[in-house]
Amino acid sequence: MQRIQLHYTLQEAPSSSVIHHPLLALLESIAQEGSISGAARALRLSYRHVWGSLKKWEDQLGREVILWGKGHTAQLSPFGQRLLLTERQAQARLAPHIEAIQAELERSFALSYDERTPVLSLHASYDSAYSVLRQFASMQGPLAVHLDLTPCVSVDALRALNEGRAALAGFHVLEAAGKHSMSAHIYQPLLDVVQHRCISLGRRAQGLIVAAGNPLQLRSLQDVAQRKAQFVNRPLGTGTRVVLADLMAQSHLHPEDIVGFDDEEPSHNAVAQAVAQGQADVGLGIASAALAKGLDFVALCQEHDLLVCHANLLQHPAMQALCSMLRSAAWHQSMRALGGHDCTGSGDVGLLHERLPWWSKSCSHHAQDQAQSIGIT
């Protein structure tokens, strides 16, 4: 059995949460380019080096990873295909955990190299926008802020804020949610209208992540149910699961109407990877995850994307620097490149009831009953 050993490097350039392996990089490039020579050009390596590396890996693994027939374009062997697809799924599932470790290591180095670098702990949902924000904030020269990012479900992010484990909590909430919604029932007990303030990141679209070309022509959750499309869900506690509950209520759908309702993936990227590999026909997620995998996206709703903090933290220089960054043209450009995010109002600070139209003094019994019926309590 092959064993995995992890290591990390230090560099000035922005990094990603993907763990790179030379063999998988070769297989990925060959799958994309269709030839060893094309893969060599894409990787800026010599044909001889790529050919020799593949043979070396085949000797070590005791299995062919390439079909070596003469006169044919290079193709991955069944074993090579399985190895690549399995590794892609593992990377998608583990990325949030790897990023949390990466953020903790970067925090340690930031404090060691320059004790003047302000550090803000951020617990936030599994949206790649927060990863981009962490990189962006660290590259602002003398105004840089290190965001100690812990990816987690939205409910846990708000709990971390309330328990003093985080300075900032990032979560998203359905823009059109009403006072009887699941959003109101889940989030209101975790928010304090007196102590908390919200900082806008703008808006983002949630919708159906489907295969390229949308072969099943899925345009709504009703289509997903009626056509028995294989669905992949997000876990309880995630903001997307809360959004799904509200959308299903609006469509008069129940969990038993959705094939695969109990099949879960931990992040938007993992949902997209499951669709890309054909393990599912559709999942609910964000546009950037679909675009990154070459998939189609059918928008269903808009959400407020928010950071929440205690009101007294707003006067801290690091918080003021962060809000200034969020208003900058450079940040808006970063979000446009990511896709699916609208930065209008980014960096604006407000009261909870200004961003959450469903805010009321008490949650409705209707929403509580609805929560119990679909397993969210």
Per-residue pLDDT for 326 more than 90?
yes
Distance linking the first and last C-alpha atoms of the chain? 42
Residue 374 and residue 255: Cα distance in Å, rounded?
Answer: 7
Provide the 3-class DSSP secondary structure of residue 169.
strand
Domains of the chain: 22-76 (1.10.10.10), 91-373 (3.40.190.290)
Which secondary structure element, helix H or strand E, spans residue 91, and what is its range?
helix 78-113
Share of the chain above pLDDT 70, in %: 87
pLDDT digits (tens, 9 = 90+) for 196-208: 999 999 999 999 9
Buried b (16+ CB within 10 A) or exposed e, 219-255: eebeebbeeebbbbbbeebbbbbbbbbbbbbeeebee
pLDDT digits (tens, 9 = 90+) for 338-372: 888 999 999 999 998 888 877 764 443 443 444 34
How much is the pTM? Answer: 0.74
Residue 114 and residue 131: Cα distance in Å, rounded?
Answer: 22
Rounded mean pLDDT of 206-228? Answer: 97
| Structural tokens at position 173 | 């909430």
pLDDT digits (tens, 9 = 90+) for 88-147: 777 777 777 777 777 677 666 666 566 667 889 999 988 889 989 988 998 888 888 888
pLDDT of 47: 86
pLDDT digits (tens, 9 = 90+) for 251-287: 999 999 999 999 999 899 999 999 998 999 999 999 9
